[in-house]
Amino acid sequence: MSKNDAAKKRIQQLCEQINQHNQNYYQYDAPQIPDADYDALMRQLQSLEAENPKLVNKDSPTQRVGSAPLDSFQQVRHEVPMLSLDNAFDDQEFEAFDKRVRDRAELTSDVEYLVEPKLDGLAISLLYTDGVLVRAATRGDGNVGENVTENVKTISAIPLKLNSKVAGSIELEDKGLPLHSALPKTIEVRGEIFMPLSGFDKLNQKAISLDEKPFANPRNAAAGSLRQLDSKITATRPLAFYAYGIGVLEGYQLPVTQKELFELLFSWGLPVCDQVAVANGMQQCHQRYQELAQKRALLPYEIDGVVYKVNDFALQKSIGFVSRAPRWAIARKFPAQEKMTEVVAIDVQVGRTGAITPVARLSPVFVGGVTVTNVTLHNEDEMRRKDVRVGDTVIVRRAGDVIPEIVSVVLSERKSESSVFHMPTHCPVCESAVERAKGEAVIRCPAGLFCRAQVKESIKHFSSRKAMDVDGLGDKIVEQLVALGLVKTPADLYSLSREQLSSLERMAEKSADNLLSALDKSKATTLAKFLFALGIREVGEVTASSLANHFGQFEVLQSASIEDLEKVPDVGPIVAQHIVAFFELEHNREVVLTLRKLGIHWPDVSAVSDNDQALSGKVFVLTGTLSTMARTEAKEALQLLGAKVTGSVSKKTDYVVAGDEPGSKLKKALSLGITVLSEEDLVALIEKQ
């Protein structure tokens, strides 16, 4: 055997040994060797690879050290949306959920649920092709996330390559799990990246010793570590991972139950939580919730509740989804943690729509994993109901472990000199007299975009990801632009020069060029996003989409009457009045006209809708990778033409569009005699219609 062959064989042996030890540690929580011995194996592998650089494989454990820093994260559109979960905060809300599940499934018997701890971390999507990790992305807004592949590759808990056969010092038969599992052609694994409590403590101790600011809680530490532009920093952070589901799956038969999916993921070498259990009916679900609540303080990681998922996949499919969440799953949150602190001041903030909100400034208090210093009092009526005053001792909690709120005032601690706080009669920013509409609890500044505070918030909203999506336009930059008078309306953003931007604090010429490029890119949008970006009161994403679909053309919507608007789903008389009032203001019409002249544009929906019957009733399935457009773009284009796009092939399918590496859907289409279109055929079909 040559020296090169011997080195190659030893490198392969070391890689297999180290990967197995990683698996023992992260999957089974049962390390088989001391840390010193593990480190010795790693050093030996590093030495051999340094001597034989041509033998270094990208899947080697030594390659988890990070790469050169990135300028920014690329965006990734999820082929299957990463939905959030609805919440239940007590037994009654969970029981109502269970009733909805049984009603939709037309069941009279108990439903079997998989019960998991709700990890307090960061959702992640891992795409494996032929068992090799090719992409990792954050959840983002559910449809579009950030490409964090290089950072995720530094996390030892996440296998760079899945195992089709799992064997080692720990026998899986003891856990009742399969040893042999062929790998799918493509699988998108979903799970949670988190920071174990021990690692979090060590990270903060190190930060304090270096006179750096420690992280507030493990979730913030995990999120901050994963989103480092320099993956070498991520490599130094003690991150862990648990898999809990899948998105895309091609070339493999989906298991029957959620529990079987966990077993399958585990058999491929992916860590899964060992606190998962099946519960049949509400009584067992309540019992499991109490068990995990009692274990909460003893677990090596933070959880803020439990997740219930209908165990049977066929039943999940029949129950379905709402726009943002599955109907077959819910998160049951643990009771909010409460602490006492003092109100040191009460002041007001002016929001995007002119709403003037009282805010209590608190003596810092650590509650529910974060340090709370500010709590909104919502409006004057709510503040009066709770009778919150400066100097009061109050009980603070984080509702659902997310939003801090004042529960009540400890009246026995109230100081004799305390006085009632009165809301201002004039806007604290522009000094306009405030107004309170009949029937509303909120007082508002009526100055609109002439109020600097409202300008600032409207610009932040306009440029946000769900609106015009101007990458790189952060709050600090917006605040500088408004303070310097460079931006007074959203339209002013598109007239900014390189010189103006590069003169801002912490804004170099390259950053200025990137922002100008992002602004130019944002000009191509959709009518729904543009409507949402305008910030019309009570016109959220769903309502903006309904308006765009109903009217088709912006000019038609702009001149619509209240009666016309009330014919749109999701639009009632109050929302209709807000829309009419917005477009009646000459200032708003001028801003919109300027934006259009500066190049803001979107597809002409009305031109499509004239022929929207061309594909009406036709059922399409997309499979494989499309090179000229994302699947979501193809899906939207087909839907605009009246087609229905589904995720599985059946006798009801009319067309299957096959991109690169199409997988099992193509085979099934051919076996059923369904018409198969290439990507070129699809583009030609869309352009023709």
List strand residue ranges (DSSP E) for 294-337, in order.
303-310, 329-333
Asked whether the CA dihedral 256, 113, 115, 193 is positive or negative, the reply is positive
Across 491-520, b (16+ Cβ under 10 Å) vs e yields bbbbebeeeebeebeebeeebbebbbebbe
The distance of Cα 526 from the centroid of its chain, to the nearest Å, equals 21
- Distance between CA 400 and CA 93 in Å, rounded? 13
The distance of Cα 163 from the centroid of its chain, to the nearest Å, equals 28
3-state secondary structure of 267: helix
Cα separations (Å) of 262 from 256, 295, 605?
11, 21, 43
- Distance between CA 353 and CA 363 in Å, rounded? 29
141 phi/psi in degrees, rounded to 5: -95, 10
List strand residue ranges (DSSP E) for 169-298, in order.
186-194, 240-250, 277-280
Please confirm, yes or no, whether 118 is among the known catalytic residues. Answer: yes
SS3 content of the chain, % helix, strand, coil (to 5): 40, 20, 40
- Distance between CA 26 and CA 38 in Å, rounded? 14
3-state secondary structure of 175: helix
Token duo for residue 239: 């991150």
CA torsion 626→627→628→630, rounded to 10°?
A: 50
Angle ∠(90,93,97) on CA atoms, nearest 5: 140
**Minimal CA–CA distance to 576: which of 538, 546, 606, 550?**
538
Give DSSP secondary structure letters for 575-631.
HHHHHHHHHHSHHHHHHHHHHHHTT-B---HHHHHTTTTTTTT-EEEEESB-SSS-H
From the candidates 118, 153, 309, 665, which is the catalytic residue?
Answer: 118
Q: Tokens 């990792």 map to which residue? A: 136
Q: Tokens 């530490």 map to which residue? A: 221
Residues involved in catalysis: 118
